[in-house]
Amino acid sequence: SIRPAASPDGRIGIDEVARRTALHLFYVPSMRNGRNAADPEDRGNAILATFPLANPTAVELPFERERRVTIAADIAGTTSAATPWRIRLVDLHLDARSSWMNVQRSFGAGRARQLQFLLEALRDDETYTVLGGDFNSWAGGASERALRMPQEWGFVRATPLGGSTWKL
């Protein structure tokens, strides 16, 4: 919610969460979510971290049904042996389905197109990258192309893929 305090239903904004927990925040809205001007609200992606965030990046994904903006930021430090390290954190949310004009892409091609665009935009062979978010798989489940693409690009899956998260 776009307000300095909690909303009437008890929700608080991500900026307030960051303040209360003393976490570093990078947030980029993707779209309005409020019903009217008197109740402003937006949706987007956020990265909260205990380390300072550097190199904040926002990547607008190819349009399918709703505007989607993926975000990335780096955290860095040194090991106990004084070796510097850097990790890129990426938060994404792929569209669950495509527009009615392109409904056939709702069966995986739209999400694959969005993820391909993102992987190309963030390509950096020198930086370890953690890719996390909502892939919205409902057509094809774990065998959907968009869910296989990160491994094809060299990512290592940390958690097993689950079942559908979105139902028609």
Mean pLDDT, consecutive 10-residue stretches, the chain (168 aa), reads 56 88 94 68 88 95 84 96 95 72 62 87 84 71 74 78 54
* CA–CA gap between residue 67 and residue 83 (Å, rounded): 40
Identify the three-state secondary structure at position 74: strand
> β-strand 69-78 against 84-93: which pairing, if any?
antiparallel
pTM assigned to the model: 0.78
Of the candidates 128, 33, 125, the residue with the CA atom closest to the CA atom of residue 72? 128
- Residue 168: predicted pLDDT: 47
- Residue 146: predicted pLDDT: 74
Of the candidates 51, 96, 44, 48, the residue with the CA atom closest to the CA atom of residue 70? 44
- Residue 144: predicted pLDDT: 74
Contact in structure between 150 and 123 (CB atoms under 8 Å): no
Q: What φ, ψ does residue 19 adopt, rounded to 5°?
A: -65, -45
Contact in structure between 136 and 117 (CB atoms under 8 Å): no
